[in-house]
Amino acid sequence: MKLQKHGFWYHLLDVLFNIVVIVAIVAAIRTFLVSPFQVEGSSMIDTLVDKEYIIINKFVFLVGHPSRGDVVVFRPPNNQSKYYVKRIIGLPGDSITIKDGFVFLKSSGESEARKLDEKTYLSPHNLGHTFRRPPSSGDVTPVTYDVPKGHYLLLGDNRQGSLDSRSFTAENGKGSPFVPEGDIKGRVWFVALPITKIHAIEAPAYGL
């Protein structure tokens, strides 16, 4: 059996073709399936900390919708050039009230609001210290957010040090505290680095 001999240009084109295929596959994975991000700041402590690398699952929102308690990466309505990472608290149709340092939820069709159980992810420093804007104000005056269709309300786990839905509306009333579903890019799947802190991120069971 004879082996066919190929020239230099054939091998060069073969290498280039394989590179293009690999780049296309990687691009498709990052666009539609998963993508890495680095956490900046302390708005999600103790769930996520500064400089950690996270992997987000994009595909999950191509086939479904965000759920309450999901930690997600999104573009904030007041600055579309950035990515934020926060936790989904209010779903479309919800009425979310912040008062006395806690979050109260009235889902669509319900007549009474119930206090949201957030003990599983809020530290003792933040549990019972969710205030209206600015987050560090200590202002326990009630404020209610009625989440419109196709939008979500998001809060950071570091309730006294997070720029989130409470801060997306400017002092002049412009802007919106709510994030459109299309601006939510993916759910945080797991912490990838540092290696000593690798773990999956799971949504809490609120028991609602």
| CA gap 151, 148 in Å, rounded | 6
Query: Please, which residues bridge with residue 56 across strands?
Result: 35, 188
Map tokens 């609120």 to a residue.
206
Q: Which listed residue (43, 58, 162, 165) is catalytic?
A: 43
Retrieve residue 78's tokens: 């007041």
Decide if 108 is catalytic. no
How many degrees, rounded to 5, is the angle at CA 190 between CA 189 and CA 191? 145
Q: Does 174 participate in catalysis according to the annotation?
A: no
Place of tokens 């912040």: 98
Closest CA to 33 of 54, 55, 59, 71: 59
CA distances 12 to 6, 24, 67, Å, are 10, 18, 49
Q: Select which of 2, 82, 86, 106 is catalytic.
A: 86
What tokens were used for 202? 């799971």
C-alpha closest to that of 44 among 79, 95, 86: 86
- Catalytic residue ranges: 43, 86
